[in-house]
Amino acid sequence: MSRSEEARGPIPDATADWYRGFEAELTTRGLPASEVVRTVASTRAEVEAAGVQPKDLYGPAVLYAREVASALRDYQATAPAPAPSDSLADVAADLGTTGLTAVSNWKAPTSTAEQAPLSHTTSSAASTAPPPTDPVVLRLTDVSARRGRRTVLSGINLTVRQGEVVAVVGANGAGKSTLLQLCAGLLRASGGHIERTPRFGYAPQLDSLAPLLTVDEHLRIFGAARSMRRRRSVSTGHRLLNRLGWTAKGGQTAGTLSGGTQQKLNVALAQLDAPDLLLLDEPYQGLDALAYEDLWALISAWRASGAGVLLVTHLLRDVDLVDRVVELPAPQDSARRMPRWTSRSTWRKEPA
């Protein structure tokens, strides 16, 4: 019995044979043992979320393993090496196996309210539990950001670990989308440090697609940027879109899609190469109730496979589905209030 089967428990013979063949072929192809375990776990999570047999979803185990191994080797050959950073010195044990890359490394302001520690709220059980040990995929330390003369974010401290879903909430204008843009490296912070795994995916809000490009062209372009083969990127993208309840026509241009289908394409592009970190900016925009449930099934599968997820939301029902919540202060209070962390079991909006 494989390591994956021992961790998951007994499964039907045909399915067990498929996973054994898949794992054996990955090993034969020279993947490190840790990568084999991670890939098998990710594949199983996707199969369980889809509710079908692995052969029906992926085809023959050996052929699929060859495609996966080839895609992983291609990606690893071009992936950026972690950049050295003095700010990693005190967290080397955490980051040593994660390969965080410094996205920004500017000195934060000193002797200001921005450097005050975060306020933590946990249940009594959580307060006596040992600290989390899962590898860090995203860390923000005293991060600040400005838009012109206006300070949008001040003194943000935030950590996301593997297998964790963290939600960001706050009033309009509190800087939720700005926070994700900083994490994705699209904006430069005015202060503080950002460290992030180089393997990440980002799904912005609507209006982020090229309207004249087709669905398959988007998949091929994003796949090429991640060193994926064309067939692999298209087949993976369509599989993700199917799990979001949409049987896409590859030749349809993005400009002719509804808001909901555009958002599904956004999410599929972010997850195309199974990254270690997903940054999702209100990914449910334009989705109907069924698609919303499909999205959360997919997010749960990502979490089970070991990915970290940072999610911007304004839906209160979402906070019951995540592991932690950070509330950004209202714009007028940003200079004197810190974001508040809470655990899933004790989340509530706290007064200023």
Backbone CA torsion sign across 255, 260, 264, 266? positive
Domain shared by 230 and 175, yes or no: yes
Average pLDDT, the chain: 77
Total domains in the chain come to 2
- Asked if 46 and 89 touch (Cβ cutoff 8 Å), the reply is no
Question: Could you tell me the pTM of the whole model?
Answer: 0.62
- From 48, 78, 108, give the residue that closes a domain: 78
Does residue 245 register a pLDDT over 60? Answer: yes
Domain shared by 116 and 12, yes or no: no
Beta-bridge partner residues of 120? 341
| Token pair belonging to 40 | 């098998």
- Specify the CATH number for the domain of residue 126: 3.40.50.300
Domain shared by 184 and 265, yes or no: yes
Report pLDDT digits (tens) over 91-118. 333 444 446 666 654 433 332 223 233 3
Domain shared by 59 and 95, yes or no: no
Backbone CA torsion sign across 23, 26, 27, 32? negative
Domain shared by 73 and 109, yes or no: no
User: What's residue 79's pLDDT?
Assistant: 44
- From 54, 78, 102, give the residue that closes a domain: 78
* Residue 282: exposure state from Cβ atoms within 10 A (0-12, 13-18, ≥19): buried
Amino acid code (one letter) for 213: L
Amino acid code (one letter) for 298: L
Domain shared by 96 and 74, yes or no: no
- From 34, 62, 78, give the residue that closes a domain: 78
Between CA 283 and CA 205 the distance in angstroms is 7
Domain shared by 56 and 152, yes or no: no
User: What's residue 341's pLDDT?
Assistant: 53
* Structural domain for 20, as ranges: 1-78
Domain shared by 207 and 310, yes or no: yes
Domain shared by 112 and 205, yes or no: yes
Domain shared by 244 and 150, yes or no: yes
| Token pair belonging to 339 | 């974001």
Report pLDDT digits (tens) over 250-303. 999 999 999 999 999 999 999 999 999 999 999 988 888 899 999 999 999 999
Domain shared by 122 and 9, yes or no: no
Domain shared by 64 and 150, yes or no: no
Q: Which of 74-83, 180-189, 254-263 has the lowest average pLDDT?
A: 74-83
